Amino acid sequence: MTGGDVMIQEGAIEGASAAFGMHVMPSVPSGTVALRRGTIMAGALSFEITVRGRGGHAALPHLNVDPVVAAASLIGALQTLVSRETSPLGSAVLSVAMLQAGDAYNVIPDSVMLGGTMRALTHEHMMYLKGRVEAMAASHAAGFGCNGTVDWRLDIQPYYPPLVNDDGAADFAWDVATRLLGASKVLETEPIMPAEDFAFFARAVPSTFLFLGIRNETLGSVHNLHSRNFVLDEGELHKGAALHAALAMEYLARGGVQGGAFGVQEAAAAAAAAAEAGGRHEEL
């Protein structure tokens, strides 16, 4: 399990009626914040595929069942799940980032492990890809005389659901940010494909997640998150802290969800939608 999921299970949000989260973002200009209604970040699921054959001397491949050839073909085939089974108007990413085989130049190994992640903007799309990865691993490996199995590694990396901003909460955050920073400093963002732990909170209560812009070419704050070259524009962090405080204070001042902080019309719908989402997809 991950932090957000554990916190919820241990009662961290008992009694909470809303949640707001924020992350620095080097693709968003410094001095601005970005958000949107609806899905803002993708869901993600890690996989580990093992292709098992029969190893032996590399000079005698006809006496072996080569899992390396099967795995190499499978890596290419997996990409068709995005290019040929995902709508051009949808969004999905499947990346193989790990490949482990033998340890000798002249020995075909018994097995090959390949690992990676898949990402999509809806839970339904994630579950479709999950089923297809399992089917393709088995059938594609079998075509080479091998056996293919998938381990979703939920013991070390949970399924992160798509992060969906509640419409009323997003409108509320947009209003607060506009009054705090100015209309020109609040931007609408497109959904992005990384996943985020805050998604667990967004499933439980009406929530909104924002991006705090830190892109500053003068400082070199232009590299992607998790890059070894990442540079943080620390001069913008106070705006994030101020916005967090303003969101909390204004939310309470407006009486919370029941008091119409997210709009009188949206309040009941937001609470009901969050409750329904929180009860779904507990198991893969």
Are 169 and 259 in a shared domain?
Answer: yes
Do 183 and 195 lie in a common domain? yes
Average pLDDT over residues 56-84: 97
Q: For residue 1, is pLDDT > 70? A: no
Is residue 1 domain-resident? no
Q: Is 263 left (phi over 0), alpha (psi -120 to 50) or beta?
A: left
Per-residue pLDDT at 273: 54
Two structure tokens written together for 226: 């998790």
Give pLDDT, residue 115: 97
Least confident interval from 10-14, 79-83, 101-105: 10-14
Q: What is the mean pLDDT of the chain?
A: 91
Residues 176/181/37/280 CA torsion (nearest 10 deg): -60
End position of a domain, from candidates 130, 151, 172: 151
* pLDDT > 60? residue 219: yes
Average pLDDT for 254-271: 64
Query: Does residue 108 register a pLDDT over 90?
Result: yes
- What's the CATH number where 115 sits? 3.30.70.360
Q: What is the pLDDT of residue 274?
A: 52
Regarding whether 273 and 177 lie in a shared domain, the answer is yes
32 and 85 assigned to the same domain: no
251 and 264 both lie in a single domain: yes
**End-of-domain residue from the set 151, 174, 207:** 151
Q: Examine the domain organization and report whether 185 and 220 are in the same domain.
A: yes
Q: How many of the other CB atoms lie within 10 Å of CB of 29?
A: 16
Tell me the pLDDT band of 279, cut-offs 50, 70 and 90. very low
Same domain, 171 and 273: yes
pLDDT tens by residue, 111-138 = 999 999 999 999 999 999 999 999 999 9
Same domain, 196 and 230: yes
pLDDT band at 165 (very low <50, low <70, confident <90, very high): very high
Going by C-alpha positions, the residue among 198, 176, 195, 194 that lies closest to residue 185 is 176
The count of domains in the chain is 2
Are residues 36 and 177 part of one domain?
yes
Assess if residue 284 is contained within a domain. no
CATH code where residue 179 lies: 3.40.630.10
* Whether residue 182 sits in one domain with residue 134: no
Domain span at residue 128 reads 43-151
Task: In whole angstroms, give the CA distance from residue 273 to residue 276.
Answer: 5
- Sheet of strand 186-188, all strands in order from the earlier edge strand to the far edge: 19-29, 207-215, 33-35, 186-188
* Contact by Cβ (8 Å): 36, 186: no
Q: Is 157 within a domain?
A: no
**Residues 259 and 202 reside in one and the same domain:** yes
pLDDT > 60? residue 268:
no
68 and 142: one domain? yes
